[in-house]
Every structure is written in structure tokens, then in C-alpha cells.
Amino acid sequence: MNHRRWNILVLCTGNSARSILAEALFNALGGGRVRAFSAGSKPAGQVNPFALELLDAQGLDTAGLRSKRWDEFAAPGAPPLDLVVTVCGNAANETCPVWPGDFLRAHWGVDDPAAVDGSDEARRAAFMKAYAALAERILTFLSLSFEDMDRAELQKHLDEIGRAGAAAAVSPGLTFTYDD
């Protein structure tokens, strides 16, 4: 079957860490099946350096990643969206942005690694935890034949992925390490 590529928008508040990680992961792991974007309701204005360091260490492309407002995806000429994923966590009682439209929605909450204080080692560990949780969820989504599912069936899977949370074991095909 010839399927068109799905457009996925990953939203959070600051668009500097979690949504950036998810955008890079979707694009790297999607095998051409998806094209991901990210945005925030109140963007930080720059990508968190720990996010860029982690993506570089994992061999993921960081070219073009930037912190941006979600308004870009409501403007004329913006790509039509198939799926919007929010990644806001509950630890800081974050309010996830709401994006109107006729597309599928998923909430895959992940605690904000950019909110972690402490040593660089502690901050890197928080980013790695968020990266692993997002990678697990994204790989689970990509393992589905989502292009062939009806909306109700796919929405059920999206909700299950969100409820499952991060598993202790991550796909053996990915490496989650930092090189100093």
C-alpha cells in the first residue's frame, strides 16, 4: 500500500526540552512514515542545551530544531496535522496546551527535565529519563499499522500508550548513553 506521510505536532509549554526530544525521535525513528514538528504555548525561545547535547550524543539530527510558538501551525500554509501529542507532565501541575482541530490527540505526559535543579549529572539523568520515556512511546506508536487503522481503534492505542508510562526496559535497538 502507498501511504502518505503523517504530520505530527508535539506540544508542551516551553518547547525547549520534551517536545524537542520527541520531534527529533519521531523524525529519526519514523522511517519516512511521519514528519514531526514541535511547538509551545509559551516557548522558552531557545532549545535547552542539555536536550541538544543528548540528541547529539544519540546521533540524532539537531539541525533546524528551535523553540517556537504553536501559532506557526495555525498560520496559512502550515502542514495539515494528523496527530497532536502533548507531553506536559504532572509533577509541576503543568497545564497542557489545547490545540483545536480535527485530528487525533494523545497525551504522553513526561516530567520536565528542564525543571530539574542540581548538578549537570542530575540534569543529564533527568533528560535521559525523559528521552527514554518518549522513545518507548514513540517506538510503540511506530510499531502500529496506524495508517490502516480506523480513528477509534487508533485513538484507543494512543490512549493506552499514554497510560502505560515509561517502562524500565527500552528497546535494545537504541542506545541511551552519554559520551563526555
- For residue 180, pLDDT over 50 is answered with no
- For residue 178, pLDDT over 60 is answered with no
- The catalytic position among 9, 12, 34, 110 is 12
Is 64 noted as a catalytic residue in this protein? Answer: no
Is 124 noted as a catalytic residue in this protein? Answer: no
Whether this prediction's pTM lies above 0.85 is answered by: yes
- The catalytic position among 28, 96, 115, 174 is 96
* Fold of the domain built from segment(s) 6-164: Rossmann fold (3.40.50)
Is the distance from CB of 47 to CB of 91 less than 8 angstroms? no
- Which pLDDT score, from 0 to 100, does residue 125 have? 97
- For residue 174, pLDDT over 50 is answered with no
Is 96 noted as a catalytic residue in this protein? Answer: yes
- Which pLDDT score, from 0 to 100, does residue 179 have? 43
User: Can you tell me the mean pLDDT for 10-27?
Assistant: 96
Distance of CA 159 to the CA centre of its chain: 15
30-44: string of b/e by CB count within 10 Å (b at 16+)?
beeebebbbbbbebe
Domain ranges of the chain: 6-164
pLDDT band at 173 (very low <50, low <70, confident <90, very high): very low
Whole-angstrom Cα distance, residue 142 to residue 79? 20
pLDDT band at 152 (very low <50, low <70, confident <90, very high): very high
- For residue 91, pLDDT over 60 is answered with no
90 or 111, greater pLDDT: 111
- The catalytic position among 17, 54, 84, 88 is 88
